[in-house]
Structure 1
Amino acid sequence: MGSGVLAKNSDDSAISQRRQLGAAMRSFRKEADIDRDAAAELIEVTGPTLTRKESGQFKFKRQEVETLAAAYGVEHEELAMLIELAREARASTKRGEFPMFVPVKSRAYLELERNDAVEIMVVTLTLIPPFFQTEAYMRELWLRNGELLSAARIEELVKLRQARQQVVTKRDAPLIRAVIHEFALRLPVGGPAVMREQLLALAAACELPNVEIQVQPISSGAFPSMDSTFSLLRFPVGVSGDVVQVYGHAESFYRDRQSATEPYRVAWDRRRVAALDLQASKSLILDAAASFGPEVAP
């Protein structure tokens, strides 16, 4: 590999880290309900300069990160992660959408997903993708996840996910493409009534102009990248700027270097080819909904 390629990879990584840091800082600022110009004054820059920093065009200095984090009420552990992002990058979301318990990396990813991505690709095995989950379905997931979450925390998580779902129908919404395994359609999360409502909502989402949903049928047996569950964001710059969120048991992890995101692009292409086409997928979703019994009149 030539030195020019190495230099380009390094530059791409630095740009990606700046973008993630900026997105996280922007999210914390909005959570603290501090307007752009007031925040800019704290670090003695103009409002437009802060906008460029939050968009990843300009770098944040460590002192700027620390000053703003203090004003935003960022906790020490999250501040350490922000500083690490700033070190690695050395070379209109509503207030309250991302509560303070959301980790820095997740916060940055959600901000990029909502404001910057032009395409979102999602692969799931056992769950309906978060963009299309009904309230009853998501509540059941958190109620039964073994963490004994309080009612208040579940309520916060529901509001966060519902806010995240706004990306599906916002103006200039990104293209959202999902490959779901049929197992997610058959697993009776919350019981028949909850699943029927969920699957009918998923079938309705298939009709949106910016949504493409494919199903990997159980009858096909083995399929490519069987153990992969991830979400991939694409930006106007193309594949060089891709960011991947890989779903884990305890927490997600993230990939942004082009060499690290390439395996997920390959996995996406293979899963998409192996799955049913759009029409057959919707038919299978409706068949699964019918298997949970007839719709009950209110």
Structure 2
Amino acid sequence: MRRWRAEAGLRQEDVAAVLDWSKPKLSRFENAEKSAGPAEVLALAAVYGVPDAERDQYVALALQARQKGWWQRYGQDALASNFEEYVGLESEAAEVHEFSGELIPGLLQTERYATELMQAWIPQADEVVMKERTDLRSQRQARLHETNPLTLGTVIHESALRQLVGGPEVMREQLKHLAAGAKLPNVTVQVLPFSAGAIPALGAPFIVLSFPDQEDPDVAFAEHLTGSVYMEDPAEVEAYTLNYSALRSKALSQKESITFLNRLARDL
């Protein structure tokens, strides 16, 4: 794919614009971080003017190599809205930085906490979908414990820690789980206390994903009630990165945050 683009004399951003793709999507194909399917190969071959015989050869290879990501075995309802794309990005990311205002970040949620959230959602999913979502979250969380683990940095507002999701017992377990997770070498948990006052991005939680290959630019992600939005423009992503850095500077240190979490758990 890189050779095709080089021979056509096109830049990644040019090709992405023609196909209405994101630049990271094309970059992941070119760096073999994601398998291109037959449709993607056909689209690229058309843009690059690849001869039919060569195009058909690579379409056949794409058919053979096409393998679903582990998350795609779940039903459509388990991957609400366009969350499937996020899970795919997260599975390829080297680092995830998240600012959470009202909820515990999904990668650090306990099963009981997550179940309480799902049961409160409107419309409520059936038991099969909730079980699939629980399993999906567990698979995502497993990346924190791999040999080459995902690096996770979080800034969690105190309001998320004091929201009694499921009652005191569920929250006590969740807070202890957070404190334990913060002791992993690849996980940073910082509490943003009420005393911080007016802070950047108040009321606007977000996630920034960074990838192993430097050619793959960071992607910012934010959810709303019925869906989500991805930001890939460098200037826009930089704003999220700067806000995350500012939030970290106003939050408690890792050590102070663990003490805060343990104290809050004892007081419940």
- Counterpart for residue 290 of structure 1: 266
Q: CA deviation at 1:264?
A: 0.7
**How far apart are the structure 1 equivalents of 2:265 and 2:170?**
10
CA contact (8 A) 2:210 2:219 kept: yes
Normalized against structure 1, the TM-score is what?
0.69
C-alpha RMSD of the superposition: 3.2
Regions of 4+ moved over 4 Å: 7-14, 49-53, 95-98
Using the alignment, how far apart are the partners of 1:177 and 1:122 within structure 2? Answer: 6
Deviation (angstroms), 1:242:
0.4
| 2:206 counterpart residue number | 230
- Partner deviation per Cα, 1:186-228 (whole Å, 9 max, x = no partner): 1100001100011101100011010001010012221112122
Equivalences for residues 78-227 of structure 1 within 5 A: 94=70, 98-101=74-77, 102=79, 105-114=82-91, 116-227=92-203
C-alpha change, 1:193 and 1:104, in structure 2 (3 Å) is: closer
Check whether the contact 1:235–1:242 (CA below 8 A) recurs between aligned residues. yes
Aligned residue identity for 2:259: S
Query: Counterpart in 2 of 1:54?
Result: 35
> Does 2:26 align with 1:18?
yes
CA contact (8 A) 1:139 1:154 kept: yes
Amino acid at match of 2:84: R
- 5+ residue gaps, structure 1: 1-6, 23-48, 73-91, 293-298
Aligned length: 234
Residues 33-55 of structure 1: per-residue CA shift (max 9 Å, x gap):
xxxxxxxxxxxxxxxx9957617
SS at match of 1:213: strand
Q: TM-score normalised to the size of structure 2?
A: 0.76
Q: Is the CA contact (8 Å cut-off) linking 2:218 and 2:237 kept in structure 1?
A: yes
Find the aligned partners of 2:153 and 2:86 in 1 and give their Cα distance. Answer: 17
| Whole-Å separation in 1 of the counterparts to 2:234 and 2:15 | 11
C-alpha contact (below 8 Å) 2:81/2:228 kept by paired residues: no
Mapped partners of 2:239, 2:188: distance in 1: 22
Q: Is the 8 A contact 1:9 1:257 kept in 2?
A: no
Give the unaligned 5+ runs of structure 2: 1-10, 47-58
1:4 corresponds in structure 2 to: none
1:255 aligns with one of 212, 227, 231? 231
Judged with a 3 Å threshold, the aligned counterparts in structure 2 of structure 1 residues 171 and 122 are, in CA distance, closer, same or farther, namely: same
Aligned equivalents of 1:55, 1:280: Cα separation in 2: 46
Distance 1:51 1:263, change over 3 A: closer
After superposition, where does 1:26-65 map in structure 2 within 5 Å? 54=35, 60-62=41-43
